[in-house]
Amino acid sequence: MARDAFGRPVPAGPPAGEAPADAPRRREAATESIGRRAGALSDELDFPEFVASLVHGTFDAIVDSSIRQMETFADLIAAVAKPLDQFMAENVTPNQARDHLAERYPQDVALASSADGPRLVPRGGDEAEPASPAWLQDYGLAGEPLTAELLEGALLPRVREQVAAQRLQTLSTLVLMGMNRVVVKDGSINARLRFRAMAADRTMVDYAAGDEAGRHADGTEWGRRGARTYAAPVTKVATVGINAQADSELRAELFGEVRINFASETVPLDRFVDEARRRFVERHARAPQADRAGPGVPPPVPGAGERQP
What is the per-residue pLDDT across 222-247, written as a single tens digit (0 to 9) for each? 445 544 444 555 666 666 666 666 66
Residue 294 pLDDT > 50: no
Report the pLDDT value the prediction gives residue 10, as an integer from 0 to 100: 62
Report the pLDDT value the prediction gives residue 295, as an integer from 0 to 100: 42
101 to 117, 140, 147, 196: CA distances (angstroms):
16, 15, 14, 70
- pLDDT tens sequence across 237-275: 666 666 666 666 777 777 888 888 888 888 877 777 777
Angle at 245 between CA 241 and CA 249, to 5 degrees: 170
- pLDDT tens sequence across 17-48: 555 555 555 566 666 666 677 777 767 777 88
Q: Letter for the amino acid at 176? A: L
56 to 60, 119, 129, 255: CA distances (angstroms):
6, 54, 73, 16
Residue 160 pLDDT > 70: yes
Report the pLDDT value the prediction gives residue 8, as an integer from 0 to 100: 65
Report the pLDDT value the prediction gives residue 161, as an integer from 0 to 100: 92
Which has the closest alpha carbon to 162: 252, 84, 109, 219? 84
Half-sphere exposure of 186 toward its Cβ, with a 13 Å CA cutoff?
A: 0
* Distance between CA atoms of residues 179 and 70, nearest Å: 9
- Taking the alpha carbons at both ends of the chain, their separation in whole angstroms is 130
Mean pLDDT across the stretch 208-223? Answer: 54
Model confidence band, residue 290 (pLDDT cutoffs 50, 70, 90): very low
* Distance between CA atoms of residues 72 and 66, nearest Å: 10
* Distance between CA atoms of residues 289 and 162, nearest Å: 8
Q: CA torsion angle for 266, 268, 272, 276 (degrees, to 10)?
A: 160
- pLDDT tens sequence across 72-86: 888 888 888 888 899
Model confidence band, residue 306 (pLDDT cutoffs 50, 70, 90): very low
Which residues make beta-bridge pairs with 251?
A: 196
Which string of b and e fits 234-261 if b means at least 16 CB within 10 Å?
Answer: eeeeeeeeeeeebebeeeeeeebeeeee
Q: Do residues 206 and 272 make contact, with C-beta atoms less than 8 angstroms apart?
A: no
Which residues make beta-bridge pairs with 255?
A: 192
Report the pLDDT value the prediction gives residue 158, as an integer from 0 to 100: 93
Mean pLDDT across the stretch 193-206? Answer: 69
